[in-house]
Copies of this chain bind each other. A is one copy, B any other.
């Protein structure tokens, strides 16, 4: 056990966990996309710039979705240009070929598509069946790979769905296989409504391993709606997962889950990983300062426990 530095946990490693975890930071895109008031492009760019300054290496910047659907991200081109010089990976969401065209025109080297594990959410979010959505992504992935662009496949509703309830594991495995067979380099398993518990996480990861999916191709994306995100992350680490999505300050939520407290806060995650002796390269103090700065812009305190404790924000 090492003596803690101020503002950091003691480090006591546990057996069977990875030595290093890559955090896929989603605050700038997933975190901000549902903000009602428009966040100025300059503030978003400064947010991404500060996030890069914390040591985060993968910062999802924006989405090239049609502005009609996500008005907050209508400035995708301007934002991307404003941060493209940063020495970090800046993946962007591309919903279709038109989005891919816009991303490629800006020189994006990492893109992500957004699929659903359930018919109900595919219908609600994409107005398509699951298989129709996969067919729509096929040319996107093929063209991206032809340009040697890294493709992440988001998979929503991997555990529960607000309309369908429990989501059968084999159904999730099927869509994962389809996305990988299509050419996706990496998948992000989303608990979009935050209902998963650790045994469910273990069961899905075990089933994916049994289906031949390499764990290195998997990330996890938990929401803290019921406070389960970090316990679920621990279960995922115990199954060998080394890519974890999180949102600085816990920004964001799912529009289909009214009271969702949103994404796992990057700070809460970094606290746990630092305590476990798992390297992330992230400076927690700088990250907390970034989230406090962003919270001031948004006019409300961060829901992250660690941000509140380390910044002495009142609850």
Query: Taking beta carbons and an 8 Å cutoff, which residues of A are in contact with B?
Result: 1-4, 9-10, 12-14, 17, 159-160, 165-166, 168-169, 194-200, 202-203, 224-228, 230-231, 233-235, 257-261, 265, 268, 271-272, 274-277, 303-306, 308-315
**B268 and A308 contact, CB distance less than 8 A:** no
If the complex has contacts A228-B271, A272-B228, A277-B199, are A261 and B2 also in contact, measured as CB distance less than 8 A? no
If the complex has contacts A12-B197, A197-B9, are A227 and B275 also in contact, measured as CB distance less than 8 A? no
CB-CB nearest in chain B for A304: B227
Q: How far is the CA of A124 from the CA of B92 in the complex (A)?
A: 52
Contact of A261 (CB < 8 Å), options: B231, B233, B315: B315
Q: List 8 tightest A-B contacts by C-beta distance, closest first.
A: A197-B275, A227-B305, A227-B268, A14-B199, A12-B200, A12-B199, A10-B166, A230-B231
Residues of B contacting A265 in the complex (Cβ-Cβ under 8 angstroms): 227
Residues of B contacting A275 in the complex (Cβ-Cβ under 8 angstroms): 196-200, 228
Copies of this chain present? 2
**A4 and B160 contact, CB distance less than 8 A:** yes
Q: How far is the CA of A305 from the CA of B305 in the complex (A)?
A: 11
**B312 and A258 contact, CB distance less than 8 A:** yes
Q: Do most interface residues of chain A lie in helix, strand or loop, or is the interface mixed?
A: loop
Contact of A225 (CB < 8 Å), options: B224, B226, B231, B309: B309
If the complex has contacts A10-B195, A199-B12, A203-B12, are A227 and B225 also in contact, measured as CB distance less than 8 A? no
Q: How far is the CA of A73 from the CA of B168 in the complex (A)?
A: 49
Q: How far is the CA of A259 from the CA of B309 in the complex (A)?
A: 5
**A197 and B272 contact, CB distance less than 8 A:** yes
**A268 and B166 contact, CB distance less than 8 A:** no
Give the shortest distance, in Å, between A180 (CB) and chain B (any CB): 23
Query: 29 pairs across A/B with beta carbons < 8 Å?
Result: A1-B168, A1-B169, A9-B160, A9-B196, A10-B165, A10-B197, A12-B199, A12-B203, A14-B235, A194-B309, A196-B275, A197-B275, A197-B276, A198-B272, A198-B275, A199-B276, A199-B277, A200-B275, A225-B309, A227-B265, A227-B268, A228-B230, A228-B275, A230-B231, A231-B234, A231-B272, A234-B235, A259-B312, A259-B315
Residues of B contacting A3 in the complex (Cβ-Cβ under 8 angstroms): 165-166
**B228 and A1 contact, CB distance less than 8 A:** no
Q: How far is the CA of A62 from the CA of B312 in the complex (A)?
A: 29
**B234 and A309 contact, CB distance less than 8 A:** no
CB-CB nearest in chain B for A278: B199
With a 10 A CB-CB cut-off, give which of A233, A309, A314 has the most chain B CB atoms. A309
**B14 and A202 contact, CB distance less than 8 A:** yes
CB-CB nearest in chain B for A253: B315
CB-CB nearest in chain B for A270: B226
